[in-house]
Amino acid sequence: MRRVMSAAMVMSLGWLNPMVGVAQEVQSAPQQAQQTGDSSFTLKVNTNIVLTNVVVRDKKTGVVVKGLKASDFTIYEDKMPQKIASFDYENVDEAAVLNEKATASGKVSIADMLEHNFAASPEQLRDHRLMVFFFDLSSMQDEDIDRAVDAATNYVNKQMQPADLVAMVSMSTGLSMDQDFTSDKASLLKVLAKYNGDDETGFANGTTGSTDGTSDDTNAFAADDTEYNSLNTDRELFAIRAIAKSLERVDQRKSMLYFSGGLTRNGIENQASLRAATNEAAKANMAIYAVDSRGLQALPPVGDASKGSLRGNSAYSGGAATAQLAANYSSQETLGTLAADTGGKFFGDSNDFAPAFQQVQRDTEAYYIIGFHSTNQKKDGSYRHLTVKMNRQDVKIEYRPGYYAPADFGHQKTEDRELALTEQMHSDLPATDVALYLQALYFRANITKQNESLLYIPVSLLVPGSQIPFVKNGDRDKASLDIMGRVQNSQGVTVGNVRDTVKLALDQTQEVKRKNIQYSTGYTLAPGKYHLKFVVRENQTGNMGSFETDIDVPDLKKVPLKLSSVVLASQRTPNAAKNPQSPLIRDGVEWVPNVAHVFRQDQHLYFLYEVYDPAKAKGAPEPAASPGLVRRDGGPVRVLTSIEFLSGGTKVYETPAVTADMINDPQRDAVAFQFDVPLTTLKPGTYICQVNVIDDAGGSFTFPRMAVRVMAPAATTPAVAGTPATTGR
């Protein structure tokens, strides 16, 4: 439901168990609304260069042709000629002496070079063959791992050349850098020996057995991956991206030998991940040589010992055999795509993996690195086809067929945008392009015998209107925000999520830059410590902002006077939504928390708080409990409260005391108090606001304090005359 009002726009987005999301436009805090001109500027220099490796061989002998110059090559992108900006020649034959010296000194770690002396000594990396062995243990059975390890061991012992620098990376429950680039055979063999252990999962391509013709593999779901459910089928692609990203600064060609038990694509998210992985590999000048470690497979119609029993009659109708062939092809197709799109090669359906190592050595024995700045400056994310030609006919050339152009936010596909938002949610590096402010409160949840200790946590996320670039559309200003949030408990387990897109359409007279967009949601949590993170993206430029904080949900059973958070608000908006969980919606009116606690003199200051389980007045009879509930339906109590304002330690104003003598919120067994304090007679300045709460019948009390700032009224809005008044219940 959507309503547009002169003071605010409210969108009820409905419940997302266990939370609800609501976006509102609220009057901005003065210090947030005041925007000054900024005379500074940012100078951006685009140094993006496209690199491609070219191997030139004699047509008759297959020998690499050496001694060529840049003028011998012509390179085209989408049939458009490009000007060669850089040209280099790499020859591993020249690396033997240098590599032997490096081995003797023990300084062959590229990571060490990158961190310490890479810029000073880039020649140490010239004319070397850089190879990454990536073992995807999570997708391989024991026998698959044995085959892959045996092949790699044979390469190290018999095929490895002095120019070869090899790194070892593996992935089981996580990505692990097991050995940095080295030519030390003993170190490499030691790492390979560890891969024959029991760390593998082996069922990454298994099925659940929930439909006819599929087997029942109990390992198809890994409980510790639940936090990454949206990406768990893309873990291998994400790992490839991470490896490629770490090697971007090394200009030489890199080769990845990717040992896998198959990689199955499931859904559009994998399409985005595959595109991102191949693009990152292309930017890092890394070719992928994918090896299906399952080798030559026999696919019996009834399955083998690695799978559970089939269901139905598919084993006899041919359906099971067809399904197995389709699944096997699907798991190999992605491996083939990774190899083809990065200039590598796929090796499958063979028990001999030696040709994979030989192919890498052959492709990198000597090659030319050609770089150019594309004449097509569009950042549309499209695939650019490359063509390399030479001014002689007696040679054949090998190069990768193309690359994905960078994409700005306006040209990204929907799945790419969603992937970027999810990655920012899981990133340790905060996004700061969009300013965010957040407030988390707590109230008792509606109680039953099963959940009397649970608390409802209203969360308010505020985005300054000045941060949102609205687009004019007729007489309306339009914009949209993507919002993603999660709550994790002290063990790091996600206990709540939210994902919304908020669409805004405002009248031009509403002065968006003087207002804020406030998004409201909530979680029902047990007492304990939690970590809360939100990511917001505005969908005009793609800028993001993030907010992380730790929250402590109190155990109300351990305090003598059980008091909720104190809500301070400057707005109360009509809201007819039936939301029994939210304590901020009362009698068809929603309280909008003021996150900054900054108010103007021409505004009202609304207070809302609750006292739970107040003591009975002496001599009062025990009230009857409702069926299935532990709350009371009424009964004499005596709770007194007032609010006072302090300035410099001196009390400058106090509301009249209000006394409650009954439970007025039986859903939470609470005495709820509401105050309306006009601020016209309070001078501008900062005050300490103290809420006095006394349970007279129980002999307990509390006096929470908070800072409040009062500003002068807006110049265009006349102040409201009168004396501060209060109402309470």
In tens, the pLDDT along 398-448 reads 888 888 787 667 767 778 888 888 888 887 767 778 888 889 999 998 876
Question: In Å, what is the CA distance from 406 to each residue of 79, 280, 410?
Answer: 19, 10, 12
Spell out the SS3 assignment of 455-478: EEEEEEEEEEHHHCCCEEECCEEE
pLDDT surpassing 80 at residue 288: yes
What's the pLDDT score for residue 311?
Answer: 55
Rounded to the nearest 10°, the torsion over CA 407, 409, 415, 420 is: 100
- Angle (nearest 5°) at CA 490 between 484 and 494: 35
Rank 87-101, 134-148, 190-204, 707-721 by mean pLDDT and report only the highest. Answer: 134-148
What's the pLDDT score for residue 276?
Answer: 76
Mean per-residue pLDDT for 588-596? 89
User: Do residues 52 and 399 touch, judged by C-beta distance below 8 A?
Assistant: yes
What's the pLDDT score for residue 17?
Answer: 31
User: Do residues 156 and 183 touch, judged by C-beta distance below 8 A?
Assistant: no
Band the pLDDT of 271: cuts 50, 70, 90.
low
User: Do residues 466 and 479 touch, judged by C-beta distance below 8 A?
Assistant: no
Give the C-alpha separation, 481 to 539, whole Å.
Answer: 6
CATH 2.60.40.10 is held by the domain 597-729: yes
Radius of gyration of the chain, Cα coordinates, nearest whole angstrom: 33
Instruction: Among 341-350, 505-514, 583-592, name the one with the lowest average pLDDT.
Output: 505-514
> 């939690």: which residue's tokens?
530
Domains 1-35+430-554 and 597-729 share a fold: yes
Helical packing angle, 319-342 and 268-283, nearest 10°: 30
Give the C-alpha separation, 456 to 478, whole Å.
Answer: 33
Mean per-residue pLDDT for 205-213? 39
More confident residue, 74 or 513: 74
More confident residue, 327 or 289: 289
What's the pLDDT score for residue 619?
Answer: 57
- Angle (nearest 5°) at CA 457 between 453 and 458: 150
Residue spans per domain, the chain: 1-35+430-554, 50-404, 597-729
Concatenating the DSSP letter of every residue in 497-546 gives: EEEEEEEEEEEGGG-GGGEEEEEEEEEEE-SEEEEEEEEEEETTT--EEE
More confident residue, 58 or 307: 58
Contacts of 613 by beta carbon, 8 Å cutoff, 6+ apart? 562, 669
Query: Residue 618's closest CA among 600, 592, 636?
Result: 636
What's the pLDDT score for residue 314?
Answer: 53
What's the pLDDT score for residue 563?
Answer: 94
Superfamily for domain range 50-404? von Willebrand factor, type A domain (3.40.50.410)
More confident residue, 103 or 172: 172
Give the C-alpha separation, 208 to 52, whole Å.
Answer: 43
The separation between the first and the last C-alpha atoms of the chain, rounded to the nearest angstrom, is 30
Tell me the residue ranges of DSSP E strands in 399-453.
402-404, 437-440, 443-444
Token output for 162? 């002095």
3-state secondary structure of 44: coil
Rank 8-12, 438-442, 632-636 by mean pLDDT and report only the highest. Answer: 438-442
More confident residue, 249 or 168: 168
Give the C-alpha separation, 613 to 610, whole Å.
Answer: 10
DSSP state of 3: E
- Angle (nearest 5°) at CA 267 between 261 and 271: 80
Mean per-residue pLDDT for 491-499? 92
Give the C-alpha separation, 639 to 654, whole Å.
Answer: 17
Amino acid identity, position 374: S
Mean per-residue pLDDT for 499-524? 76
Tell me the residue ranges of DSSP E strands in 7-78.
9-16, 19-27, 50-58, 73-77
Class of domain 1-35+430-554: mainly beta
What's the pLDDT score for residue 636?
Answer: 81
The pTM of the full predicted model, rounded to 2 decimals, is: 0.54
Judged on CB neighbours under 10 Å (0-12, 13-18, 19+), 128 is buried
Mean per-residue pLDDT for 181-187? 87
Concatenating the DSSP letter of every residue in 676-722 gives: EEE-TTSPSEEEEEEEEEEETTTTEEE--EEEEEEEPPPTTSPPPPS
Give the C-alpha separation, 559 to 50, whole Å.
Answer: 65
What's the pLDDT score for residue 488?
Answer: 93
Amino acid identity, position 679: L
pLDDT surpassing 80 at residue 355: yes
**Average pLDDT for the chain:** 75
What's the pLDDT score for residue 589?
Answer: 87
User: Do residues 710 and 689 touch, judged by C-beta distance below 8 A?
Assistant: no
- Helices and strands (H, E) in the chain, number of each type: 11, 39
- Angle (nearest 5°) at CA 258 between 254 and 263: 135
What's the pLDDT score for residue 76?
Answer: 95
Element containing residue 138 per DSSP (H, E):
none
Query: Residue 75's closest CA among 65, 62, 84?
Result: 84
DSSP state of 155: I
Instruction: Among 57-66, 526-535, 618-627, name the one with the lowest average pLDDT.
Output: 618-627
Mean per-residue pLDDT for 627-655? 78
pLDDT > 90 fraction of the chain, expressed in percent and rounded: 28
In tens, the pLDDT along 526-575 reads 999 999 999 999 888 888 888 888 899 999 988 989 999 999 999 888 87
Sheet holding 50-58, edge to edge: 84-91, 366-372, 50-58, 395-398
More confident residue, 401 or 238: 401
Give the C-alpha separation, 519 to 499, whole Å.
Answer: 12
What's the pLDDT score for residue 667?
Answer: 83
User: Do residues 535 and 545 touch, judged by C-beta distance below 8 A?
Assistant: yes
Band the pLDDT of 634: cuts 50, 70, 90.
low
pLDDT surpassing 70 at residue 218: no
Sort strands 670-678 and 658-660 into parallel, antiparallel or unpaired: unpaired
What's the pLDDT score for residue 694?
Answer: 95
Rank 288-302, 368-382, 489-503 by mean pLDDT and report only the highest. Answer: 489-503
What's the pLDDT score for residue 617?
Answer: 66
